[in-house]
A and B are shown apart, each in its own frame.
Chain A
Amino acid sequence: MTEKYGIIASFPDTPSFFHAAEKVRDAGYKKWDTYSSFPVHGMPEAQGQARSKVPVFTFLGGITGFTVGLLMVWWMNAYDYPLIIRGQPFFSPVFPFPIMYELTILLAAFGTLGGMFITNLLPQHYSPLFNSDQFLEVSGDRLVIAIEARDGQYDAVATRQFLEEIGGTDIEEVSA
């Protein structure tokens, strides 16, 4: 017997897919996910997922950018090599504000993209789901729910039956 990754089931339209996700959540499964080629409005709540942590990374990036901008201008123009320009002060928090502003946005943007990759555990080289021809159709219009074998509640027979009960079709076991 080969190792199983889990069971996938397809759903005919977005409402049934959405409500099925709510039922999987209520049934107490933990290691499962929905798969659709577009974001479904309200799906995180239907899946019982918390708010995304991406903004934390944005904040860290932004605060780093702001501080780096501030310190860089002070260090370069007021400390390491002070230059007299038009009698202006060597440092003030006002004139380098555009620098701080732009660096805040730059590093916050990197933080956001990086945060998206980190929270999604990407890049990922391989996922057994792609071995299923049905799963590949998710990129078209197929709507799939996959319950993974590593879930504590997973049972090859009972889970399959459960997915059938909530309206799943084309149920397939995917090998790891």
Chain B
Amino acid sequence: MATTTQDSSMDATQAALLAKVQPTELHEQPLVTNNRDFNWVTDKICRIVETKTPTWWWICMAVALMTASFTGLGLLWLVSSGVGVWGLANPINWGWAIVNFVFWIGIGHAGTLISAVLCLLKQGWRTSINRAAEAMTIFAVVCAGIFPLFHVGRVWFAWWLFPIPNSNVIWPQFRSPLEWDVFAVSTYGTVSVLFWYMGMIPDLGVLRDRAVQRLNKGVYEGGSAIANKIAEGMDHFRKNFYAILAMGWRNAGNHWRNYEMAYLVLAGLSTPLVLSVHTIVSFDFALAVLPGWHTTIFPPYFVAGAIFSGFGMVLTLMLPLRALYGLHDLITQRHIDNMCKICLGTGSIVGYAYIMEFFIAWYGANPYESFAFINRAFGQYWWAYVMMFSCNVFTPQLFWFKKVRENAALVWIMSIFINVGMWFERFVITVTSLANDFLPTSWGYYSPTMVDILTFFGTFGLFSVLFLLFLRFLPLMPIAEVKFVMPEADPHGHRGDEKGDQH
């Protein structure tokens, strides 16, 4: 019994005005297309976890594990023989490790942006992509954390970074931006996990209840006796595994009331957090008195770049997932459009920052600063600058065109360009500033070694391993939130058309 509460009373002047203006109907693209119902959404998302592991998953997992082993071997090599196996040499003592750290941390930012900032801005389209984006954040932070951890040299002393009493009776030095970074990144990782986990609790409850339902029905047929036994055993595992994680969640109105408040508060906390993390990462550079690093533009520029690269990565991940799992009704063209537009917006900010840096260098009338920037674009690392500029400034400008945004394959390729471009940005900032500093006698040229390259290459494997495990064991999308933005969930019955019987 859907009752419409639409206000039908309208005074004469308003009616006359409307007749004159003839406003066009504003059609908002639905967030879940093809008139799907609640059960379809629940089924679609849960069955990703509940059905037999697809063959492609095993293949991807095998490839990912092999790729990840490069990081393992690279780090083993590093620790057993010393930091000399990396390409670091005076004056360039911050090389790929720092570049990779900033690159991965930046990627993480889109996840928090989608889950927190877009939540505060009440952007309904975040719902179907936020879970995967948050997972991406956490796994990116894991990959990022490896580099500074091993960059300290003697990794077994890395715990000295934390304010824990040690046998030297000495404490961390809190005036250093590097120490701030320890706090920023570890807080970011922890809060992201908390936010991700809390958002998942209702969906874990759903997975638990579905396992219980299947066990209660007790119908395990269709395969051999052993296959059926395994299916039943898996449901026993799911029942217990998800029950522990769901903490007894039972979808009560009272639960939702506190949960929604907690979610909103966490979104409100994560927003200043995500902005602070890359700000503090940029302080690692900006607080050094080195031309090319010592600029006040860094915090906003780094944050915009981080969001840009993160959305690039979200597109890189979500477009194949959408195709593999047939999620076209949940990740619609509207979602892709919006993500492309954010890439366009943040990409333009990044482009503006690149140009503004030149302006500041000129306007500041500091010869060292001017040299640093001219050298960046036309010096020995000109090729890196060209890569950065073309990928980051020109690529996203194509997103102005609807035709481009509607071509999923093209968007995917462009998202890869964005990832590549943003890696080069960090390379340009870190390496070019160090390679040619104040004293020309000490100038150098940095090249990574094989260990550098393979360690970084392996982190993509590590990231993929974690992401594949996430796909297999946890709900890919927030089921409750997707339902919440569907017209059926509206308590006042503002629904386009009446569909058939729901039960």
List CB contacts (< 8 Å) of B29-81 with chain A.
37-39, 42
Contact pick for B491, options A43, A120, A122, CB 8 Å: A43
B residues in contact (CB < 8 Å) with A: 1-3, 37-39, 42, 163, 169-177, 179-180, 183-184, 187, 190-191, 194-195, 197-198, 202, 205-206, 209-210, 212-213, 216, 247-262, 265-266, 269-270, 272-273, 276, 280, 283, 479-481, 483-484, 488-493, 502-503
CA distance A42 to B187 in the complex (A): 33
A88 at the binding interface (Cβ < 8 Å): yes
A98 at the binding interface (Cβ < 8 Å): yes
CA distance A43 to B490 in the complex (A): 11
Do A38 and B195 touch (CB < 8 A)? Answer: no
Do A103 and B183 touch (CB < 8 A)? Answer: yes
CA distance A84 to B481 in the complex (A): 53
List CB contacts (< 8 Å) of A89-120 with chain B.
95-96, 98-99, 101-103, 105-106, 108-110, 112-113, 115-117, 119-120
Question: What chain A residues lie within 8 Å of B170 (beta carbons)?
Answer: 81, 83
The minimal Cβ–Cβ distance linking A65 to chain B, given in whole angstroms, is 9
Do A37 and B483 touch (CB < 8 A)? Answer: yes
1/0 per residue, CB under 8 A from B, across A110-147: the answer is: 10110111011011111101100100111111000000
Among A76, A110, A116, A123, the most chain B Cβ lie within 10 Å of the Cβ of A116
A residues in contact (CB < 8 Å) with B: 12-18, 21, 33-44, 46-47, 49, 51-55, 58, 72-73, 76-77, 80-81, 83, 85-86, 88, 95-96, 98-99, 101-103, 105-106, 108-110, 112-113, 115-117, 119-120, 122-127, 129-130, 133, 136-141, 167
Report the tally of A-B residue pairs with Cβ distances under 8 A: 226
CA distance A58 to B267 in the complex (A): 12
The minimal Cβ–Cβ distance linking B288 to chain A, given in whole angstroms, is 12
CA distance A174 to B230 in the complex (A): 32
Instruction: Give the interface SS of chain B, mostly helix, strand, loop or mixed.
Output: helix
Question: What chain B residues lie within 8 Å of A129 (beta carbons)?
Answer: 250
CA distance A122 to B204 in the complex (A): 14
Do A138 and B213 touch (CB < 8 A)? Answer: no
Do A33 and B252 touch (CB < 8 A)? Answer: yes
Question: What chain B residues lie within 8 Å of A103 (beta carbons)?
Answer: 183, 187
Q: Contacts A88-B175, A112-B265 given; indicate if A106 touches B247 (C-beta within 8 A).
A: no
Do A17 and B253 touch (CB < 8 A)? Answer: no
- Offer 11 A-B interface pairs, CB within 8 angstroms, sorted by A: A13-B488, A13-B493, A35-B251, A35-B252, A44-B257, A47-B254, A52-B262, A54-B262, A76-B172, A113-B198, A141-B502
The 9 closest A-B pairs by CB, nearest first: A124-B248, A18-B491, A141-B38, A52-B261, A76-B171, A34-B253, A116-B262, A38-B483, A123-B247
Do B183 and A98 touch (CB < 8 A)? Answer: yes
Q: Contacts A54-B258, A55-B261 given; indicate if A37 touches B479 (C-beta within 8 A).
A: yes
Known A36-B253, A105-B273, A130-B212; further 16 A-B contacts with Cβ < 8 A: A12-B1, A12-B503, A37-B38, A38-B481, A39-B480, A40-B253, A49-B253, A58-B265, A76-B163, A81-B171, A86-B175, A116-B261, A120-B255, A122-B248, A124-B247, A140-B42
Do A39 and B247 touch (CB < 8 A)? Answer: no
The minimal Cβ–Cβ distance linking A159 to chain B, given in whole angstroms, is 18
